[in-house]
Chains A and B, each alone.
Chain A
Amino acid sequence: MTIEFFILMLIIFMIIAALIAVESIDLLSAVIAVGAAGFALSVIDLLAGAPDLAFPQVLVEVITLVLLIRMVMTRRDTSRQTSRDTLRTAVVLLAGSVFLVAVFFAAGGMGMSGGIPPFGQPVMGSAADTGVSTQYLTRCAEDTGAANTVMGILLDYRAYDTLGEATVIFVAILGGYVVLRRVGRKKDAKEVEPS
């Protein structure tokens, strides 16, 4: 009960931080509000029994914050505070209400197959213990020799998935390097290139 209450409070904190990030006038305070939301998410992971997610979330949050602050601090924000476009806001609110109605219907069928499971009772917790999560939990120690089931799934059962993830990171870093590099951008930089 208490842990659920803390999770609820932290989600409300995340929503407030996200609203500040979206609506504040200063860009630097917006970026810092996003950082607050990310650190709150890592605390939620820690409370919800996912320490394997809390530590990468903190690491990723620090890197994101450094990148965004580095981008915002040295550049002047000349964007005008334009009046809100009512049509687009209406479209967003309409889509949002459709989302919420869908959630209510999906979560309304508690325990039924196909809906979102009720909070605190995951799919694997049901009586039928043939689900893949239960199989991972019971077999992980002897199959992979890993005490940490999440790492066993990530690095053994689904190792190709992790390889694809590493490929995505590599391509993203390569793309950022190509976009930001100085060589080859101007004509007079040609003599710098050896070929």
Chain B
Amino acid sequence: MGIAVYVLAFGLLLIGVYALVAKKNIVRIIIGIAILGYAVNLLLVLVGYRHGGTPPILADGQTSADLAARSVDPLPQAMVLTSIVIGLSVTALAVALAIRLYDKYGTFDMNDIRNLRG
């Protein structure tokens, strides 16, 4: 079961790589980047998961040692929180570039954009 979770997360990563490499539509390439980001975030969260773990938030009247004994790993979560927001900026910039390309060439297809150069 544990292996299956990791393998499926890597399969999701694989789908993103496939969309990035084999697709010719700019929208699909942006979708591939987004799926890659999802897969990496998912894998990092799963690595930090503990069986029956609580969120790393100190409850009322709880001691820190008790929290450390039963909480999930907070460090991957802090990293992934940064990664989520940066993924949004990457998507926004890619969408801006795609809109500009569409305004200039009238298509999302990379083959047509390559042929229309000049």
Contact = CB atoms under 8 A, between A and B. Distances in A.
Given A4-B1, A11-B12, A137-B67, A161 B51 contact: no
A22 B107 CA distance: 18
A181 to B, nearest CB: 10
A72 B95 CA distance: 10
Contact of B73 (A133, A140, A162, A176): A133
A162 B82 contact: yes
Contacts of A53: 41, 45, 77, 80-81, 84
A37 B35 contact: yes
B56 A116 contact: no
Contacts of A128: none
A19 B21 CA distance: 15
Interface string B34-72: 110010011001111111111111100000110110011
A171 B31 CA distance: 22
A189 interface: no
B12 A22 contact: no
A115 to B, nearest CB: 11
Interface residues of B, number: 85
B111 A60 contact: no
Given A44-B45, A119-B5, A172-B93, A27 B12 contact: no
Interface in A128-185: 129, 132-134, 136-142, 147-150, 153-154, 158, 161-162, 165, 168-169, 171-173, 175-176, 179-180
Contacts of A11: 5, 8-9, 12, 42
A113 interface: no
Question: Which of A21, A95, A168 has the most CB atoms of chain B within a 10 A radius of its CB?
Answer: A21
Contacts of A193: none
Contacts of B95: 67-68, 71, 176
A118 B77 contact: no
Interface of A: 3-4, 7-8, 11-12, 14-15, 18-19, 21-22, 27, 30-31, 34, 37-38, 41, 44-45, 48-53, 56-57, 60, 63-64, 67-68, 71-72, 75, 77-80, 82, 84-85, 88-89, 91-92, 95-96, 99-100, 103-104, 107, 116-125, 129, 132-134, 136-142, 147-150, 153-154, 158, 161-162, 165, 168-169, 171-173, 175-176, 179-180
